[in-house]
């Protein structure tokens, strides 16, 4: 019997050592090894004994791997503090890399790891054996000049090693100049990476250099080639009678565009009539595919960029201005080619019929969100043009409410976060930062775009044609369990009933108007997975939508442009077997690349926003705010101010006591006084420092006199949440 048990242990080890082995859970091993129900207990004993002998390891997700000898490849994520994590793509397994076991890897490098016998909390530890592929060949940072050499300190806090620059390779850069350095040698444990300066961006305080640094750091393309510009210029000819042949003529239909006041790429217009209790909604999208031919230089450039990126004072567009701001932009009073999704919607918000067609349109009025808001609220004295449009806008507000209510009833999660609005002066310096709430008019357009996106996705799903969908997977149950435990401390509960979506929306609704509203919303968002582009229609969890795609923004998103081509080929009867095979071949790569470019753009936008907030707060040193604790760590408290800027209260600046960090409850507690600081708690703070170089905002607890000064009734304008000093109030 003992021999049989030993033989089974050996078989398991041999299986796990096989190079073709993919990590499996116990149930999967039982099926693979054809272990019958009566032998399952024996398999469990075999696995437990091998674990005790440290011959095998069980990962966080319950999969079994051979100890030490088993190697994997994955992407390294640096913490910026010496340690990091590696995610193995094939299994989505995450491993902890302790300090000293990083092996010279830099953030986002593709690496080979071997597992270590110990764990760090729930994560298996691992060691990086080698770097397979470097993520960074260039680094953007600040040059620190020495006598005969210098160093580039990377802007990216995840890149923890300075780049050594020999004097002859410095291009005579001045001290504290923003530069781009090409890495020529990645160094080792004893030597820094070495490089040469290839571009000098300017002094870090020069106007625009901060955003230019982000552009370079993320590899965002600033210019178009002459070939691409030439193609765009030639394509951007006025709409002719021949262009309109075969299209539905909707130029007589009343329609408007509704965008931000400063928007230039107007790619969607809306129309709405009401007939016999039914709404006839038209969503009309610029027919960009008519002007960007597949495999042209223009198309390859758009595909490479993947998306337009919006950085405070500039836009890095996916398409040249001749198209994005010209012939493809749905300008008021101009004939434009479009793809129209015409929907019939009943009083309950159900789409009872639809048609997708090529069209020619003419927008009656370009409107911005504020104008529509004032008309709907009756705040604006109506002009004759407004009076003509007001009935349609009122119908739109009614239909929007119906669609939103229906979406919430089916379980969609609506994150009603205020966006951060940054106002810059002519030099690019922030003069005001404030939260901007989503208005009724913004929600109105959002509701109509969502309806069109769902309708188009469902239509093409049932045609069983190759397509690009926008999908969002269910959250990781472990993350939701942690979220549920944390929220219980605020008196909130999430009931597990097989689907969490409705529960999450109820939670957000209950938190509205409370001090912890913003915090809870962010925590719910962090518990979710990221939406992505895929060729499989697996649904959108956050929207509770079975079918969803991105159809409505082809000027600024490549997936939208790509599916417009498929739609037009279908409408014109050009989807031959050969064409279908072509799309099936190229779409997975397009979906994956577009998702990656979207992530890059989002990260760059967040980076610029963070820099501008720190710059703004440099002029507010000493001012007092009532903020909300949005993060608790062993080194201090992160506090969000009313203007959305976020800073750190270092643990050493808290009132005299020794503070203990409770990781399970995200809480700092004074050992002697029992005073505690928790997530979501309000806290008065004073701005003590703002470092644009390190991109950090330092705060300290405000004293009672600080608070009284900030709240003085005699202070001009009263307390407005923007921070007041005693000197302000005495003026």
Residues 699-717: tens digit of each pLDDT? 999 988 888 877 665 444 3
By the 8 A CB rule, do 521 and 417 touch? yes
Give the pLDDT confidence of 24-33 residue by residue, as tens digits.
Answer: 888 888 888 8
Q: Show the tokens assigned to 570.
A: 């279908």
Strands 256-259 and 335-345: unpaired
Q: Which residues pair with 551 in a beta bridge?
A: none
Q: Can you tell me the distance from the alpha carbon of 187 to that of 104, in angstroms, rounded to the nearest whole number? A: 8
Determine if the pTM surpasses 0.85.
no
Which backbone phi and psi does 274 adopt, to 5 degrees?
-130, 135
What band does 731 get if pLDDT is binned at 50, 70 and 90?
Answer: very low
CATH match for 138-206 among 2.40.50.700, 3.40.225.10, 1.10.1660.10, 3.40.50.300: 2.40.50.700
Please report how many Cα atoms fall inside a 13 Å half-sphere around the Cα of residue 113, on the Cβ side. Answer: 32
Report which secondary-structure segment, H or E, holds 285. strand 278-286
At residue 728 the predicted structure's pLDDT band, cuts being 50, 70 and 90, is very low
Which residue reads 């998103």 in tokens?
557
Stretch(es) of the chain classified as CATH 1.10.10:
2-66
The matching CATH number, chosen from 2.30.130.10, 2.40.50.140, 3.10.20.740, 2.30.40.10, for 621-730 is 2.40.50.140
More confident position, 518 or 45 = 45
Q: Identify the pLDDT of residue 400.
A: 96
Annotate 189-256 with DSSP letters as a single string: SSS--EEEEEEEEEETTSTTHHHHHHHHHTT------HHHHHHHHHH-PPP-HHHHTTSEE-TTS--E
In the prediction, which pLDDT does 174 show?
A: 93
Instruction: Name which of 129, 133, 135, 119 is nearest 57 in CA terms.
Output: 119
* Percent of the chain whose pLDDT exceeds 70: 93
Compute the distance between CA of residue 284 and CA of residue 287 in angstroms, rounded to an integer.
9
| pLDDT (0 to 100) of residue 260 | 87
3-class state of residue 4 by DSSP: helix
Q: Is 136 left (phi over 0), alpha (psi -120 to 50) or beta?
A: beta
- What band does 631 get if pLDDT is binned at 50, 70 and 90? confident
**Which 3 state secondary structure label does DSSP give 335?**
strand
Give me the long-range contacts of 487-496 (CB less than 8 A, separation at least 24). Answer: 487/520, 487/523, 489/665, 489/678, 490/516, 490/520, 490/680, 492/520
Q: Is a pLDDT exceeding 60 seen at residue 593? A: yes
Instruction: Give, in degrees to the nearest 5, the angle at Cα 127 between 65 and 12.
Output: 15
- For the chain, residues classed under CATH 2.40.50.700 are 138-206
- Report the C-alpha gap between 628 and 649 in whole angstroms: 12
Quote the mean pLDDT of the chain.
87
68-77, 645-654, 678-687: segment of lowest average pLDDT:
68-77
What is the average pLDDT across 162-171? 94
Of residues 428 and 152, more confidence is placed in 152
Q: Give the homologous superfamily in CATH for domain 71-133.
A: Nucleic acid-binding proteins (2.40.50.140)
Residues with Cβ within 8 Å of 105's Cβ and at least 6 positions away in sequence, in order, are 76, 78, 84, 111, 128, 131
CA distance 418 to 524: 15
Residue 725 has pLDDT above 50, yes or no: no
- pLDDT higher than threshold 90 for residue 68: no
Buried b (16+ CB within 10 A) or exposed e, 624-639: bbbbbbbebeeebbbb
| Alpha-carbon distances, residue 333 vs 251, 336, 364, 426 (angstroms) | 10, 9, 6, 32
| Candidate ranges 38-47, 572-581, 688-697; pick with highest mean pLDDT | 572-581
Q: What is the pLDDT of residues 309-365, one digit of tens each?
A: 999 888 999 999 999 999 999 999 999 999 999 999 999 999 999 999 999 999 999
User: CA quadruple 556, 559, 560, 565: dihedral positive or negative?
Assistant: positive
Stronger pLDDT, 401 or 521, i.e. the higher one:
401
How many residues does this entry show for the chain?
A: 731
Examine the pLDDT at 1 and tell me if it is beyond 80. no
Q: Which helix (H) or strand (E) holds 261?
A: none
Higher pLDDT, 512 or 407: 407
Q: Does the 2-66 domain belong in CATH 1.10.10?
A: yes
Contact present, 112 and 129 (Cβ < 8 Å): yes
* 669, β-bridge pairs: 660, 676
The pair of structure tokens assigned to 269 is 């217009």
The 3-class secondary structure across 93-141, one letter per residue, is EEEEECCCCCCCCCCCCEEEEEEEEEEECCEEEEEEEEEEECCCCEEEE
For helices 577-617 and 209-217, the axis angle rounded to 10 degrees is 140
- The per-residue pLDDT for 392 is 96
731 or 133: whose pLDDT is higher?
133
219's torsion region: left (phi>0), alpha (psi -120 to 50) or beta?
Answer: left
Residues in CB range of 297: below 8 A, 6 or more apart? 225, 227, 228, 231
Cα–Cα distance measured from residue 345 to residue 373, given in angstroms and rounded to the nearest whole number: 24
Give 315-325 pLDDT, tens digit per residue: 999 999 999 99
Q: Of 127-141, 142-156, 662-676, which range is least confident?
A: 662-676
Q: Give the tens place of pLDDT for each residue, 434-470.
A: 877 778 899 999 999 999 999 999 999 999 999 999 9
Residue intervals of the chain classified under CATH 2.40.50.140 are 71-133, 621-730
Pairing of strands 138-145, 430-436: unpaired
Predicted pLDDT of residue 688: 94
Name the token pair of 6. 């030993």
Q: Which residue has the tokens 């949005």?
A: 630
Classified as helix, coil or strand, 627 is strand
> What sign has the CA pseudo-torsion 25, 27, 31, 36?
positive
- Distance of alpha carbon 414 from alpha carbon 538, whole angstroms: 20
Residue 699, H or E segment: strand 696-701
* pLDDT value at 203 more than 50: yes
Q: What is the mean pLDDT of residues 128-156?
A: 92
Higher pLDDT, 666 or 87: 87
Planar angle of CA 517, 518, 524, nearest 5 degrees: 90
- Between the alpha carbon of residue 14 and those of residues 17, 49, 113, the distances in Å are 5, 15, 20
- Cα 76 to Cα 19, 118, 126: the distances in Å are 22, 19, 11
């Amino acid at each position: 019997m003992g021999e049989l048990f030993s033989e089974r242990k050996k078989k398991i080890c041999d299986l796990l050592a096989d190079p073709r082995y993919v990590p499996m859970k116990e149930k999967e091993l039982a099926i693979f090894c054809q272990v019958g129900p009566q032998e399952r207990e024996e398999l469990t004993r075999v696995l437990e004994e091998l674990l005790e002998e440290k011959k095998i390891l069980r990962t966080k997700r319950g999969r079994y791997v051979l100890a030490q000898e088993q190697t994997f490849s994955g992407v390294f994520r640096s913490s910026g503090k010496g340690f990091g994590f590696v995610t193995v793509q094939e299994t989505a397994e995450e491993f902890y890399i302790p300090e000293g076991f990083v092996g010279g890897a830099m953030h986002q490098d593709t690496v080979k790891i071997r597992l270590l016998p110990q764990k760090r909390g729930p994560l298996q530890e691992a060691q990086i054996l080698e770097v397979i592929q470097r993520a960074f060949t260039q680094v953007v940072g600040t040059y620190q000049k020495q006598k005969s050499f210098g160093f580039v300190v990377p802007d990216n806090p995840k890149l923890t090693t300075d780049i050594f620059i020999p004097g002859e390779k410095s291009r005579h850069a001045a001290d504290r100049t923003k530069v781009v350095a090409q890495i020529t040698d990645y160094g080792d444990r004893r030597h820094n990476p070495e490089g040469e300066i290839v571009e000098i961006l300017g002094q870090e305080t020069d106007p625009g250099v901060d955003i230019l640094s982000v552009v370079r750091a993320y590899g965002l393309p600033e210019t178009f080639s002459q070939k691409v510009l030439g193609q765009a210029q030639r394509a951007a000819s006025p709409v002719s009678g021949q262009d309109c042949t075969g299209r539905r003529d909707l130029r007589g239909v009343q329609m408007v565009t509704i965008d931000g006041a400063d928007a230039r790429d107007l790619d969607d217009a809306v129309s709405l009539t009401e007939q016999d209790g039914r709404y006839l909604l038209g969503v009309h999208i610029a027919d960009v595919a008519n002007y960007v031919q597949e495999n042209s230089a223009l198309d390859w450039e758009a595909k490479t960029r993947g998306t337009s990126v919006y950085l405070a004072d500039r836009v890095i567009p996916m398409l040249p201005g001749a198209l994005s701001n010209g012939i493809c932009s749905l300008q008021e009073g101009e004939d434009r080619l479009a793809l129209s999704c015409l929907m019939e919607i009943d009083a309950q918000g159900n789409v009872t019929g639809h048609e997708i067609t090529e069209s020619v349109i003419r927008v009656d009025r370009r409107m911005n969100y504020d104008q529509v808001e004032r008309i709907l609220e009756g705040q604006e004295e109506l002009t004759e043009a407004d009076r003509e449009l007001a009935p349609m806008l009122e119908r739109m507000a009614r239909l929007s409410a119906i669609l939103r209510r229906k979406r919430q009833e089916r379980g969609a999660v609506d994150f009603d976060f205020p966006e951060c609005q940054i106002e810059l002066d002519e030099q690019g310096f922030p003069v005001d930062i404030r939260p901007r709430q989503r208005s009724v008019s913004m929600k109105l357009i959002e509701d109509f775009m969502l309806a069109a996106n769902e309708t188009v996705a469902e239509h093409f799903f049932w045609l069983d044609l190759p397509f690009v969908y926008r999908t969002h997977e269910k959250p990781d149950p472990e993350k939701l369990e942690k979220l549920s435990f944390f929220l219980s401390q605020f008196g909130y509960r999430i009931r597990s009933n097989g689907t969490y979506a409705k529960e999450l929306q109820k939670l957000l609704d209950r938190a509205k108007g409370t001090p912890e509203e913003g915090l809870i919303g962010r925590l719910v968002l962090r518990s979710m997975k990221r939406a992505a582009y895929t060729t499989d229609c697996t649904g959108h969890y956050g929207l509770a939508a079975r079918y969803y795609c991105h159809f409505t923004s082809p000027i600024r998103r490549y997936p939208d442009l790509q599916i417009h081509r498929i739609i037009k080929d279908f409408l014109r009867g050009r989807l031959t077997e050969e064409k279908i095979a072509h799309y099936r071949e190229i779409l997975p790569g397009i979906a994956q690349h577009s998702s990656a470019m979207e992530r890059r753009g989002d990260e760059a936008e967040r980076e610029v926003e963070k820099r501008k907030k720190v710059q703004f707060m440099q002029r507010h040193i000493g001012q007092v705010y009532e903020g909300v604790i949005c993060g608790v760590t062993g080194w201090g408290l992160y506090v969000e101010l009313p203007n959305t800027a976020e800073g750190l209260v270092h643990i050493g600046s808290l009132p005299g006591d020794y503070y203990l960090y409770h990781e399970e409850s995200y809480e700092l507690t004074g050992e002697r006084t029992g005073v505690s600081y928790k997530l979501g708690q309000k806290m008065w703070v004073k701005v003590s420092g703002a470092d644009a170089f390190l991109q950090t905002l330092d705060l300290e607890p405000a004293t009672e006199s600080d608070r009284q000064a900030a709240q003085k009734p005699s202070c001009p304008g009263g307390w407005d949440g923007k921070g007041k000093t005693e000197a302000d109030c005495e003026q």
